[in-house]
């Protein structure tokens, strides 16, 4: 068994407390269960242990009666399509990958799969998935005086955001040196300023903002948010690539 999987593997005769310690140490919430021939026979999650304790299972008993034997397990010959299909089930958070003798050769989590796809990394099922930075999947919601935005995808090629502008909220008049932007209005009505032009937009409207173009978005509603999806294309997507010319919130 590969050394890199030591923190993720337990024998089906392992004491529950020992398995729980491994789950705590690997910080992934699960271990893969193997038999005396090193074949994968199931998985054990922190949820499995919690439910067993509620049923008065002792931590000093082995895990043979509490691990999940009918877990989803993918053969390395099945390909990535099988992984994607399996992860469509909300309950599946990770998948052991085995060879034709049912021995563990890899592990992939749902977060790792999303990180792989979002960053357009070409890989097969032998890839070192634990080398991926899964932080690219979980983007915070950022509050602004005009509302909030959430990044949904960020990689070397583009960034996408959901932008919600509160009633009567207005983004600053700004431009960018490193990116162009494409907006699609998903909800509400507003005004878009492109240089000296003013365009009224509503649900379904799409706006292209060229590199260096001064632009501003205003929600003209008194009671509904203006929500847009934004795609940024360029060579840099940092928030410091914002040149402000006017701002009703005093941020120039």
* Interval 127-147 mean pLDDT: 89
* Interval 206-225 mean pLDDT: 97
CATH class assigned to 3-136: alpha beta
Q: How many helices (H) and strands (E) does the chain have?
A: 4, 17
Q: Where in the chain is the domain with CATH 3.10.580.10?
A: 3-136
In tens, the pLDDT along 81-117 reads: 999 999 999 999 999 999 999 999 999 999 999 988 8
Q: Where in the chain is the domain with CATH 2.60.120.10?
A: 141-246
Rounded Cα gap, residues 128 and 113, in angstroms: 11
Considering only CA atoms, which of 68, 66, 25, 74 is closest in space to residue 49? 66
* Interval 123-137 mean pLDDT: 89
CATH class assigned to 141-246: mainly beta
pTM beyond 0.95: the answer is no
């Amino acid at each position: 068994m590969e050394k890199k999987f030591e923190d993720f593997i337990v024998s089906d005769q392992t004491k529950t407390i020992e398995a729980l310690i491994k789950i705590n140490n690997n910080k992934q919430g699960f271990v893969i269960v193997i038999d005396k021939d090193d074949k994968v026979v199931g998985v054990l999650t922190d949820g499995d242990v919690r439910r067993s304790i509620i049923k008065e299972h002792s931590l000093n008993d082995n895990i043979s009666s509490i691990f999940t034997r009918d877990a989803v397990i993918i053969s390395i010959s099945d390909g990535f399509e099988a992984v994607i299909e399996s992860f469509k089930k909300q309950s599946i958070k990770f998948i052991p990958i085995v060879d034709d003798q049912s021995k563990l050769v890899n592990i992939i989590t749902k977060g790792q799969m999303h990180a792989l796809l979002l960053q357009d990394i070409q890989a097969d099922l032998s890839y070192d998935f634990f080398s991926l930075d899964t932080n690219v999947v979980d983007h915070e919601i950022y509050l602004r005086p005009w509302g909030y935005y959430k990044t949904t995808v960020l990689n070397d090629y583009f960034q996408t955001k959901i932008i919600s502008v509160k009633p009567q909220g207005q983004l600053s008049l700004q431009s960018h040196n490193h990116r162009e932007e494409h907006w699609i209005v998903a909800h509400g009505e507003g005004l878009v300023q492109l240089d000296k032009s003013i365009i009224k937009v509503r649900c379904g409207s799409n706006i292209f903002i060229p590199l260096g173009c001064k632009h501003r978005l205003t929600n003209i509603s008194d009671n509904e948010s203006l929500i847009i999806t934004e795609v940024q294309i360029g060579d840099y997507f940092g928030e410091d690539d914002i040149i402000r010319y006017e701002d009703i919130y005093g941020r120039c």
